[in-house]
Amino acid sequence: PPLHIKSRTAAYPDSSIQRFVVPDDMVPWNVSFPDYKPPHYTAPSVAIQPSWADPHVEGSNAMIAFPFNEYDKKRNVDRKSYMGNYDVVSGLPRNPRGRTGLTGRGLLGRYGPNHAADPIVTRWERDEHGNVIIIRGKPVLEFVAICRKDTGEWAIPGGMVDPGEYVTETLKREFTEEVLIDIDDAERTETSFLIQKLFNSGVEVYKGYSDDHRNTDVAWIETRAFNFHDNDGSAFGKVMLHPGEETTGVQWRRIDQSTKLFASHFQFLEAVAKKHNAHF
């Protein structure tokens, strides 16, 4: 697997914490790194134990408190990884991609994997006459992008899976929450029917680790990304997109090499472009 990069971003978000520097060759756990002393940080927002976070446990007690590598029936949280069984060392789960330079949960609620979902809604980019734009012989795709408040980067409007929630529900819920859909009454019924239909046609394009700047040695994000393609533009034809609470902007953006995107989203969009044999 590729080296995680954003998971080693020096300044930990929303804090004054600096990660311990982990050179590329020291990332794998099986490489000995005797001097490795990552700072411990659990954000106050997590430590106050909101409903989306695990209760805080000291050191090796985590192993007793949570069924790692299993479905946690008590809390309705999936603690299995999409990347196979992860190691549990001194009672704590170990990031399957290697060292991050930080221990504690940081901004993440769960010890071990924190499951997310990413809805990639696409359509063909068209000119003013309605013709699909072609670049170097290939049609161009657009996706619904949000501008995130936390990093200022463009991103897929994804989010965390709630306890007991199916990923298919998370995809729809997050999309609705982050990209509020504003349509007038006359069109509401028809449009929501078409969007509903679109959301039943998802194709999975990624399942696994998310190289997120919030990841730590003991807590990390894993996601499933699904593509919902509005091929003739009918589902979103009359729909206006509006930014939700965690978002400063929302727009249809061209899918190509040029955009710097949040977490591993670039990789997911590349997979979508390939799948549709589109320009990238």
State the residues that interact with ligand RP5 by CB under 6 A: 116, 118, 156, 158-160, 210, 212, 221, 223, 263
Q: Which partner in ligand RP5, Mg ion, none is near 223 (CB below 5 to 8 A by kind)?
A: ligand RP5
Q: Which partner in ligand RP5, Mg ion, none is near 141 (CB below 5 to 8 A by kind)?
A: none
CA-CA distances (angstroms) from residue 25 to 34, 62, 86, 98? 14, 29, 20, 10
* Chain CA centroid to CA 103, Å: 20
Q: Residue 106 or 158: which CB sits closer to ligand RP5?
A: 158
Q: Which partner in Mg ion, ligand RP5, none is near 167 (CB below 5 to 8 A by kind)?
A: none
- Tracing tokens 């306890």 back to the chain, one arrives at 163
Spatial neighbors of 227 by CB under 8 A, at least 6 apart, are 120, 122, 202, 203, 204, 205, 272, 275
In angstroms, what is the minimal distance from the CB of 158 to Mg ion? 5
SS3 84: coil
Does residue 255 contact residue 273 with C-beta atoms inside 8 Å? Answer: yes
Measuring CA to CA, which residue among 73, 2, 9 is closest to residue 213? 9
Q: Residue 183 or 271: which CB sits closer to ligand RP5?
A: 271
| 118-177 positions binding Mg ion, by CB under 5 A | 159
- Tracing tokens 């299993």 back to the chain, one arrives at 70
Q: Residue 118 or 125: which CB sits closer to ligand RP5?
A: 118
DSSP H or E segment with residue 274: helix 265-275
First to last CA, the chain: 23
DSSP H or E segment with residue 174: helix 167-178
In angstroms, what is the minimal distance from the CB of 24 to Mg ion? 29
| 77-116 positions binding Mg ion, by CB under 5 A | none
In angstroms, what is the minimal distance from the CB of 98 to ligand RP5? 17
Q: Cα(7)–Cα(19) distance, rounded to whole angstroms? A: 10
The amino acid present at 53, given as its one-letter code, is: A
In angstroms, what is the minimal distance from the CB of 116 to ligand RP5? 4
Handedness of CA 99, 258, 122, 187 (dihedral sign): positive
Residue whose beta carbon is closest to Mg ion: 159
Q: Residue 166 or 193: which CB sits closer to ligand RP5?
A: 166
Q: Which partner in ligand RP5, Mg ion, none is near 263 (CB below 5 to 8 A by kind)?
A: ligand RP5
Q: Residue 54 or 212: which CB sits closer to ligand RP5?
A: 212
Q: Which partner in Mg ion, ligand RP5, none is near 156 (CB below 5 to 8 A by kind)?
A: ligand RP5
Q: Which partner in ligand RP5, Mg ion, none is near 210 (CB below 5 to 8 A by kind)?
A: ligand RP5
Q: Which residues bind Mg ion (CB under 5 A)?
A: 159
